Structure 1
Amino acid sequence: MKHFALTGAAGYIAPRHMKAIKDTGNVLVAALDPFESVGIIDSYFPEAEFFTEPEAFEAYLEEARAAEGLDYVSIAAPNYLHYPQIRMSLRLGADALCEKPLVLGEDELDRLAALEAETGHRVWTVLQLRVHPALVALREKLAAEGGHKKVVLTYVTGRGKWYLKSWKSDVKKSGGLATNIGVHFFDMLAWLFGDVQQLEVHAREEQVVAGYMELERAEVSWFLAIDDRYVPTELRAQGQRTYRSITVDGEEIEFSGGFTDLHTEVYRRTLAGQGFGLEDTRTAIRTTERIRTLKPGGRAPRHPFLERP
């Protein structure tokens, strides 16, 4: 049985981490969040200690490590806290298992690599799309087919007015829209089609970011938005506020289901020493960092959704 701590316990994704810790036969000893709406902990680990102050959390973990050991710190806090909390984890003598984006800049990856070497502990991340059965099958199919593909990625996830008033809309804290909601897609694309060779940004606004990239084995037109007016009219009329579509050479890739236990599978692999580390996430971190800084423009065709609404 491994001993885990968890940061960001009141967040949306935290219950998936609690479930994964429990499903893999391990125990949560302590959790941290500045907000106290964490009753969900009772469904998994009612005996876990809870802290609202990071200093008290860290002090407790130092004592816990001396008493019974601390193996992993799972990090589900806001993006800008990932890097310092990973450093804290390694300094405490534990591995870090961090939500994506692992960090906001490639230079932070390099500094964490040095800290891994110094401490002897590892940094792991959650790249759950890489263990999705439909996408694993697609990757095998693409490898067998070979060739160069044309891909269109469209992802609209409607968000209310709260989003623009939260840390998620602050580029310095979230990394911006492409990082906060797009980093797992950019990782998936690189995992399927190889490293990024060329990148263009065609739009970078508060609620929309879009562009074009060439990978080793694909050309990709991509569009991400949190404005539900971009949901196709017929779906919006049915009350739908999200729309996700990925086509490869015009063929729709369906992977809407199968998400229930992906975090648990990532945990299983991590516990077996076969999880996703710093280098696995480098391409996605580099890509999203460039999207934040590139001047919008370019010669590639624009995604058709840029003409809406």
Structure 2
Amino acid sequence: MGVNGEKKIARPLRWGMVGGGRTGQVGYKHRTGALRDNTAYQLLAGAFDVDYERCKDFGRNLGVAEDRLYPDYKTMFEEEAKRPDGIEVVSIATPNFTHYEITKAALNAGLHVICEKPLFFSVEEGEEIKKLAEEKGKIVGVTYGFSGFQLLLQMRSMIENGDLGKVHMIELSYTHGFACSDIGDKKNEAQKWRVDPKKSGPSFVLGDLSTHTFYMSQLICPDIKLKEVLCDRQSFVKSRAPLEDNAYVLMHYDNGAVGRMWVSSVDAGSMDSQHIRIVGSKASVEFNDWQPNELIYEVQGKPNQKLYRGMPYLSDACNEFERMNALHTEGLGDSWANIYLKIAMAIDAKNRGDEEALKKINYPDINAGIDGIRWITKCVESADKGGVWVPFND
């Protein structure tokens, strides 16, 4: 077993949260991820809610001391800096439009940052924060929470080993049907801001969903760089316009490969699934997050195979963060735990000045966050120009 709760860093990191309170959708995922291995983080402080009374009530129920429950992030950063046991890393689980200012304030307060995606509204903001993080000697991690499934690294290893031959096609999708009507837009607090361009940015499902799958494809195929995209997006629930609830994206890669992404929140009947298929000249490999414990491996001219999580025939990179062994299933909570543990290891390496160790830790960093911003920006640009090819890097 790769992970069994033993410490991988010298001591747990003193950790706080901004957002992620009772009415949010993602806060529990953050806490599950961070606290799964109780040797990595300790939750000591929080500004969990814009409603201070609700923040205090919620924080008490989490076991956080009341004098470390704060009305806002600015107060938390200021007061925690005065304490000898003040927080050293903060997670930001708030609406998109707040990420930039909170991340900047956290870095200026001397804190490492773990932030929700999409990171910011513009690549320029991302580059500014990257420079600031480098100046402060701090880590900025991004919670692409699905990217901790170990079998994604098995796919990466198979491509690196040449098992698929030359990669020709990258097929991606992330769809669900839970926004087929506008009921949630009006009644669900976590949904309202996602369909408000002032708060969500220039996209809905491209930012909220497809950034996950796009990052996963980059994790699997790190040496295949996206060259250009063509996007067509729709607002089938008309009140969401100009934000899309469905989009199709075509991709061209620098090695000659092509790709497609379908992203939708109006795929009626679909129960929130991501699908990744990498097609090579010799074989294909396929992953679905509904069945994250197995891969479909198809070699041309041979019977199809299922590769199961936790087995010794998988790569060392895949099995390094194995938690349950092959007889027991793993799920999204395990994926989040892997991401949080890797970020903790990156923070620890950064604190120790061990840049060589840091380079070996594969986690969603500030560069992944910037690429996610660029992905959204370029898809929106292409769609708004009438569905034309636009260069990914320019």
Q: TM-score range by the shorter chain?
A: 0.7 to 0.9
- The residue number in structure 2 matching 1:212 is 250
CA distance 1:3–1:262, change in 2 (3 Å): same
Q: Displacement of 1:211 after TM fit?
A: 1.7
> Quick one: which of 42, 57, 73 aligns to 1:27?
42
Give the superposition deviation at 1:259: 1.7
Q: Secondary structure at the match of 1:297?
A: coil
User: 1:98 aligns to what?
Assistant: 115
Of 18, 26, 30, 1:13 maps to 26
The correspondence of residues 26-175 of structure 1 with structure 2, limited to 5 A, is 26-32=41-47, 33-35=49-51, 36=54, 41=59, 44-47=62-65, 49-51=68-70, 53-54=71-72, 57-67=73-83, 68-145=85-162, 146-160=165-179, 161-165=182-186, 166-175=192-201
**Over residues 219-252 of structure 1, what are the superposed CA-to-partner deviations in whole Å (9 max), with x where a residue is unaligned?**
11111111133xxxxxx3xxx5445433333764
| Amino acid in the other structure paired with 2:340 | Y
Residue 381 of structure 2 is aligned to residue 293 of structure 1: yes
Partner AA of 1:5 in structure 2: G
Distance 1:2 1:242 in 2: 33
1:276 CA displacement: 3.2
Q: In the alignment, residue 28 of structure 1 is paired with which amino acid? A: L
Q: What secondary structure, in the 3-state scheme, does the structure 1 residue paired with 2:161 have?
A: helix
> Which residue in 1 is equivalent to 2:8?
none
Using the TM superposition, name which of 137-146 and 250-259 deviates more: 250-259
Please say if residues 175 and 274 of structure 2, whose CA atoms lie closer than 8 Å, have aligned partners that are also in contact. yes
Measure how far apart 1:38 and its partner are.
8.2
Alpha carbons 2:169, 2:258 under 8 Å: kept: yes
Aligned to 1:253: 287
Residues 272/252 of structure 1: CA separation in 2 closer, same or farther (3 Å cut):
closer
Superposition map of 1:205-244 within 5 A: 205=235, 206-217=244-255, 218-229=257-268, 236=269, 240-244=270-274
Give the CA deviation at 1:286.
Answer: 0.9
Give unpaired runs (5+ residues) of structure 2: 1-11, 187-191, 236-243, 293-330, 347-360, 390-394
| Alignment match of 1:262 (pick from 317, 329, 335) | 335
Indicate the larger mover: 119-128 or 9-18. Answer: 119-128
- By how many angstroms is 1:37 displaced? 7.4
TM-score by structure 1 length? 0.82
**Do the aligned partners of 2:227 and 2:254 also contact (CA within 8 Å) in 1?**
yes
The residue type equivalent to 1:118 in the other structure is E
Give the counterpart letter for 2:195 in structure 1. S
What SS does the aligned partner of 2:82 have? Answer: helix
Query: 3-state DSSP class of the match of 2:178?
Result: coil
| CA offset digits 1:3-61 (Å, max 9, x no partner) | 2110112221111222333333332222221253786655643436333x42xx42243
Tell me which residue corresponds to 1:185.
213
**SS of equivalent residue, structure 1 residue 264:** helix
Quick check: 1:5–1:72 contact (8 Å CA) kept in 2? yes
364, 372, 378: which one aligns with 1:284: 372
String of CA shifts for 1:246-291, please: whole Å, max 9, x gaps: 3333764233233222222222212222443212333222111111
Alignment root-mean-square deviation, CA: 2.5
CA–CA distance in 2 between the matches of 1:243 and 1:60?
37
Structure 1: tracts of 5 or more residues without a match: 230-235, 300-309
Aligned partner of residue 50 in structure 2, secondary structure: coil
Write the deviation string for residues 99-131 of structure 1: whole angstroms up to 9, x where unpaired. 221222110111112212333323222233433
